[in-house]
Structure 1
Amino acid sequence: MDEASAAEPDSARGTGDDVIRTRALTKRYRGGQLAVDGLDLTVPAGSVFGFLGPNGSGKTTTIRMLVGLIEPTSGTARVLGRPMPRSTRAVLPHVGALIEGPALYGFLSGRDNLLRLDAADPTADPRTRRTRAAAALDRVGLTAAAGKKAKAYSLGMKQRLGLAAALLRPRRLLVLDEPTNGLDPQGMREIRTLVRELAGDGTTVFLSSHLLDEIEQVCTHVAVMARGRLVTQGPVGTLAAGLRGRLVVTTPDAADAARVLKEQGVGDVAADGDRVTGDPPDRDLAELNTALVTAGVRVRGFGVERASLEDAFMALTGEGFDVAG
């Protein structure tokens, strides 16, 4: 056990292996709008947990309840084993968060923003404040821009600075709402690498994102929300396991391949360039390949691609990812 864990009071350590647990968590706003409806969510310790859903599905409202920014209408939420929002003071020193974009002082430099935020933490040791700020800036790649005023930062730099604020101290739980918003591809890769490193160090990461590739690449577990309700949750690898993939034929004879596949009973056939796809039939795929070759189709690639996280999301919600709910 490290010094930080030894110094941590038992009351803040949680009970068992679940870092977040909600039961029947519900939020209804004035006017009757039901934003979150009876949510039962379980986030295992040590996981990188992806939180998915179309716009308006209740993800950000859920996060705001988990960190004590708003109170639920009914139901319960426990974070690190303590009830929220009642235990906010005991829990939040162990939680880093970046929610709905960082709130920064534009007239202060990136470094001074972190120093100001750290000074607001009554549990932070002022003697090591500058060292912690420098380490956090370095971890998100902002050392060179540390003296630049935040109002001159790009959107991606502001996201990095917000993440640095969440990393000023070691955290047992990191809550990130769209952490790669505004970042270029290189910046997105760096943040994904950082998330993996943090998880490797024992931090549980709760990650809300609209980027399905991002979730698929870094997350170990996932939950899907739609219209305020939980659709499913579990390990990422099992989410699409029950779905059939897509038959893919690569050929310069796409039109002929599409025709033969339809004649062979393949459904939902589509051609795009030299790539022809369809629903895998309930028959020996070798026979299907033979039928293509016999018809004179030059087959350069043939197989079934596994279902993606996007396929699973569409099957579960019936919605595209950018639909306002």
Structure 2
Amino acid sequence: MDQPSAQDTAASPAAAIETRGLTKRYRGGQLAVSSLDLRVPRGSVFGFLGPNGSGKTTTIRMLMGLIEASSGGARVLGEPMPRAARTVLPKVGALIEGPALYGFLSGRDNLARFDAADPTADPRSRARRIDAALDRVGLTAAAGKKARAYSLGMKQRLGLASALLQPRELLILDEPTNGLDPQGMREIRTLVRELAEDGTTVFLSSHLLDEIEQVCTHAAVMAQGRLITQGTVAELVAASRGRLAVTTPDPAEAVRILKEHGVTDLVVQDERITGELPSVEAGPPEEPPQGAEGPLDLAELNAALVHGGVRVRSFGTERASLEDVFVSLTGEGFDVAG
């Protein structure tokens, strides 16, 4: 009997998406995705985070069976892809690389075409499904307008409506807020939350940290085709220490003392100083003060400032964000809000 391939290995029943060693290398040797081990829990809003060109869309196209993986395997809703595409895809709504619309048809007629192409869709209830999808994305008033007259944001909404024509176990959205104004972005975020509350697993790729942090329960960070980390958003943020922030009318003396205690990357803006606390593993450049609990004892650091004559008006650490996580993991900057 043949040995099972990586694609056929048992998937976790709690995973909506699971990949093992998923790799895509294009002709000419370009490595787009490298040995990706990804796990998306059922019922989560999962943020697939990375800058443009990090391999997010290529991964999604492999998950949907639109392109073939070079090696490794993927399961979607517990089934191997692309082999089980006919079983899996009717349970999945997807918006990938923007919607493919017929410009000469109205928004409503575009949805009718999409619905008619679904072999599981009952034509008798088509009109009701289309009305509900249009209403859910705020396009009822523009339903009769030709799609070529739609703005980019309206086209994005119509594409999302096409993915919502049927109840879905899994919704895959590739940069769903592209082209939307701030109000439209808020509406899509609200819609994603509502879908998750209804039990739909939402897999949302984005290069916007703010978007992921506001709406997602879990996230994975991609960079240059490789998975950097994954987990709950709370876990990822907790793994990145916030920066120290001190407010004082004595910034020069405060900087001197902070440097002596191992604080690095110090930035001074008027009376406000921020800096990177020393890691526990590295330890301070000198022995910690007597009675300190360890090299990151903030109370001792504050006491050192006061003992050195620094008038401290505020002292503490700023909450880490996904931006902090990404920069600490990759050393790269990131697009926070678009």
Q: Is residue 180 from structure 1 mapped to residue 177 from structure 2 by the alignment?
A: yes
- Alignment counterpart, residue 61 of structure 2, candidates 57, 64, 82: 64
Aligned-partner Cα distance in 1 for 2:57–2:46: 15
1:285 to 278, 298, 318: 298
State whether structure 2 residue 149 is matched by structure 1 residue 152: yes
**CA displacement, residues 237-287 of structure 1 (integer Å, 9 cap, x when unaligned):** 111323321011245665565455445543211023553211235354334
Partners of 1:159 and 1:182 lie apart in 2 by 7
Answer yes or no: is the 8 Å Cα contact 1:22–1:42 preserved in 2: yes
Contact 2:262 2:277 in 1 (8 A): no
Partner amino acid, structure 1, of 2:92: V
**Residue deviations 1:65-124, cap 9 Å, x none?**
101111111211111111111111111110000111111111222111111111111211
Q: Alpha-carbon deviation of 1:319?
A: 2.2
Which of 304, 307, 311 is equivalent to 2:317?
A: 304
> Which residue in the other structure is 1:55 paired with?
52
Distance 1:26 1:139 in 2: 36
CA–CA separation in structure 2 for the residues paired with 1:26 and 1:18: 20
Matched with 1:124 is 121
Contact 2:34 2:225 in 1 (8 A): yes
SS of corresponding position for 2:238? coil
Give CA deviations for 1:112-150 in whole Å, capped at 9, x if unaligned.
111111111121111111111111111111112212221
Does residue 105 of the first structure (1) align with residue 102 of the second (2)?
yes
Aligned partner of residue 20 in structure 2, secondary structure:
strand
1:167-221 per-residue CA deviation (whole Å, 9 max, x = no partner) reads 1110000000001111111211111111111111100011100011111111111
Tell whether the 8 Å contact from 1:15 to 1:80 is kept in structure 2 after alignment: no
Query: Residue type matched to 1:319 in 2?
Result: E
Contact 1:249–1:303, Cα closer than 8 Å, also in 2: yes
SS across alignment from 1:313? helix
Q: Secondary structure at the match of 1:269?
A: strand
Opposite residue 219 of structure 2, the aligned amino acid is V
Quote the Cα distance in structure 2 between the aligned partners of 1:181 and 1:38.
28
8 A Cα contact 1:57 1:228, kept in partner: yes
For residues 45 and 242 of structure 1, the distance between their equivalents in structure 2, rounded to whole angstroms, comes to 23
Matched residue, 2:137: 140
- 1:45 is aligned to 2:42: yes
Distance of 2:252 and 2:188 partners within structure 1: 43
Letter in 2 for 1:311: D
8 Å Cα contact 1:258/1:270 also seen in 2: no
Contact kept, 8 Å, 1:176 with 1:208, in 2: the verdict is: yes
Which of 305, 308, 330 matches 1:317? 330
Distance 1:108 1:298, change over 3 A: farther
The one of 201, 204, 208 aligned to 1:204: 201
CA–CA distance in structure 2, aligned partners of residues 298 and 193 of structure 1: 45
Q: How much identity, in percent, do the aligned residues show?
A: 78
- Cα distance between partner residues in 2 of 1:284 and 1:33: 47
Question: What is the TM-score with the length of structure 2 in the denominator?
Answer: 0.84
Determine the structure 2 residue equivalent to 1:7.
Answer: none
What's the RMSD between the two structures over aligned residues? 2.1
- TM-score of the aligned structures, taking structure 1 as reference length: 0.88
Q: Which amino acid aligns with 2:187?
A: E
Q: Note if contact 1:177-1:207 (Cα within 8 Å) is conserved in structure 2.
A: yes
Q: Does 1:221 align with 2:218?
A: yes
User: Structure 1 residues 284 and 87, CA, compared in 2 at 3 Å: closer, same or farther?
Assistant: closer
Residue ranges of structure 2 left out of the alignment (5+ in a row)? 1-10, 279-294
Greater displacement, 216-225 / 205-214: 216-225
SS in structure 2 at match of 1:230: strand
Corresponding residue of 1:86: 83
Residue 20 in structure 1 maps to residue 17 in structure 2 = yes
Secondary structure of the residue aligned to 1:240 is helix
Tell me the equivalent position of 1:189: 186
